[in-house]
Amino acid sequence: MIVVSTQEFNASQEKYFDLALNDHVIIQRGKNLFIIQSFVSDDKPDEIFEPDDDFYKSIPLEEVRDKIVGYIRKKHAT
């Protein structure tokens, strides 16, 4: 997982889009977080975003947010 500021993302968009092909790229804008996720252009959006078995095994969004915020605070504390 890579966390970058909006300024850093804007300065090197191509780099972060390339990284998003194999890793999670999170853009932090103030207290807000945005995730860049890639998918194959041949995929149909309806099939990609339709809930499946993995969806029902997933963790709540609040837990994901708490983990990301904790990661960011830990990274910036050192």
Q: Compute the average pLDDT of residues 7-14.
A: 94
- Residue 60 DSSP one-character state: P
Cβ burial 41-62 (10 Å sphere, 16+ → b, else e): eeeeeeeeeeeeeeeeeeeeee
Entry pTM: 0.52
- Rounded CA gap, 65 and 61, in Å? 6
**pLDDT by residue (tens digit) across 21-75?**
888 899 999 889 998 887 766 656 666 667 777 777 777 888 888 988 998 888 8
